[in-house]
Amino acid sequence: MNIVIVGKGRMGQLLKTTAIEHGHTVLANVDAFDPAGLLDQIDQLDLVLDFSHPDNLDWVSKAIAGKEIVLVEGTTGFGDEQKALLNDLAKTNPVFFAANYSLGIALLTSLAAKASQLLKDKWDIEIVETHHNQKIDAPSGTALALVEAIDPDNEFKKVYGRSGRTGVREKEIGIHAVRGGNIAGRHEVSFFGPDEELVLSHNANSRQIFVNGAIAAAEFMEGKPNGLYNMTDLVG
Catalytic residues: 131, 135
Cis amide linkage into residue 139, ω under 30° from 0: yes
Contact yes or no for 99/140 (Cβ under 8 A)? yes
Checking DSSP bridges between strand 70-73 and strand 25-30, what pairing results, if any?
unpaired
Q: How many CB atoms lie within 10 A of CB 225?
A: 7
